[in-house]
Structure 1
Amino acid sequence: MDAERAGPPRRPTRQEVADAAGRGLPDVIGPGLRVLFCGYNPGLYSAAVGQPFARRGSRFWPALHGAGLTDRQLRSWESDELLRQGLGITSLSNRATARAAELTSEELVAGVTGLAMKAERYRPRWVAILGVTAYRVAFARPTAVLGPRPEPLGPARVWVLPNPSGLNAHFPLPALTAEFARLRRELDP
């Protein structure tokens, strides 16, 4: 990808971040992934720079590495390396917002159809939903908990992980990493 060769993106201005509202972000996806991570939607900063989990303080990248899912801590612009390690990223909604709470329930539910199509096309072993609240709403499972789910999504198994957003105060980085590690142990028993 061009973004990977270019290195870190230029830091966007406040206006560029604000202007990213509603903008989408390309998936980081390919065939035969070990895990396709699925977030709620892109944040404004990520949409402004065109890379997932792009904020410097993003907990997604340290949790991946700390859990043993990547051989080193990747950065948002290293999507080609992420794919080489058998991991991808998509979203239930591709509408950038400042907070996931700005999404409607209808958007989350509608996102399941697109996610199922991606699972059929790319055939990841696991689809990991990043956020139990998003999973509960999108999949109409109001009592769902973190961990593996019995219902598949096409050929993929489904795992629910905590949302790595820094706004998710219930899961500090060590607890987030521990949940990601549960999935890794399932991948590499």
Structure 2
Amino acid sequence: MTPARRATGPAVPGPAAVPATTGPEPARRRRGTDGGHSPAPADRLPGTVDGPPGRIEVSPGPTRPREPEFRRPDRAELAAAADRTIPDVIDQGLTVLFVGINPGLWSAATGWHFARPGNRFWPALHRGGFTPRQLHPSEQHTLPGYGLGITNMVARASARADELTPAELVTGARTLTDKVALYRPTWVAVVGVTAYRIGFARPKAGFGRQPEPLAGARLWVLPNPSGLNAHFTPQTLGAAFGALRAAVVGDPPPAVG
């Protein structure tokens, strides 16, 4: 039985985020001959082109990010967001499922993944070639139209990822494994090597492709795009995401049938 699709629109609890404009509707998905899903060509976002199943192909498009106006959550609203959860952006048969460590307080207050100003996930996603322009976090619901999704290893929000316990990461790794088995993405990209090492008991794991799959998906580890990670610049983060995209494009899933 195919699991019910989860809502991918930006959930905006309370007054923390009030977009001034409405983003594009999520692209409708159709089942391909390989058993996966791909966006219907008429519904593709500007800048995307058709390609073989499992590939992500992006043609040049505008690079200026869309900047909806919204009120910044205040200190009280951020404090109240601790331990909240936010919905995944997920669908069956995605090309790449990105896995954050856990939501930050900005994400929990707005309902948008990687929402804190200064987080470099969305710029790196564009620099790496996954999107034709830099998306605003409020546009996260459009990601499945590119074959992309977002979830987290640990669901509860915190101010910093280092507030999580090792036991939470181990439990989160098991939950993630079950989720991957259920939704069957082609690739899983864990965004944070330290969390991956602890959660999956791989103390010597490095960045890039991992030798073992995760519930049948090809597994990749990326640097943490948090602004607190001073080891990576926007340029080197973009290059790391670009290396993943090159692997995705160069190693498509085998055709079925």
TM-score bucket (shorter structure): over 0.9
Q: Distance in 1 between matches of 2:186 and 2:93?
A: 7
Q: Which runs of 5+ in 2 are unaligned?
A: 1-8, 12-18, 24-67, 251-257
Q: Distance in 1 between matches of 2:82 and 2:10?
A: 23
Task: Please show how residues 58-137 of structure 1 align to structure 2 within 5 Å.
Answer: 58-137=119-198
Q: Distance in 1 between matches of 2:104 and 2:232?
A: 19
* CA displacement at 1:122 relative to structure 2: 1.1
Higher helix share: 1
* CA displacement at 1:98 relative to structure 2: 0.6
TM-score, normalised to structure 2, is 0.71
Partner of 1:164 in structure 2?
A: 225
CA contact (8 A) 1:10 1:49 kept: no
Q: Does 1:29 align with 2:115?
A: no
TM-score, normalised to structure 1, is 0.95
Identity of aligned residues (%): 57
Supply the AA of the counterpart residue of 1:21.
A
Supply the AA of the counterpart residue of 1:15.
A
Of stretches 50-59 and 161-170 in structure 1, the one that deviates more from structure 2 is 50-59
CA contact (8 A) 1:8 1:77 kept: no
Task: Please show how residues 49-64 of structure 1 align to structure 2 within 5 Å.
Answer: 49-64=110-125
Q: Distance in 1 between matches of 2:178 and 2:201?
A: 18
* CA displacement at 1:159 relative to structure 2: 0.2
Q: Distance in 2 between matches of 1:44 and 1:11?
A: 12
* CA displacement at 1:69 relative to structure 2: 0.9
Partner of 1:41 in structure 2?
A: 102
Q: Which runs of 5+ in 1 are unaligned?
A: none
Name the SS of the counterpart of 2:135 in structure 1: coil
* CA displacement at 1:13 relative to structure 2: 1.3
Query: What is the total number of aligned residue pairs between the two structures?
Result: 189
Name the SS of the counterpart of 2:194 in structure 1: helix
Task: Please show how residues 146-165 of structure 1 align to structure 2 within 5 Å.
Answer: 146-165=207-226
Q: Distance in 2 between matches of 1:134 and 1:179?
A: 17
Q: Distance in 1 between matches of 2:104 and 2:225?
A: 12
Q: Distance in 2 between matches of 1:118 and 1:149?
A: 19
Q: Distance in 2 between matches of 1:10 and 1:44?
A: 15
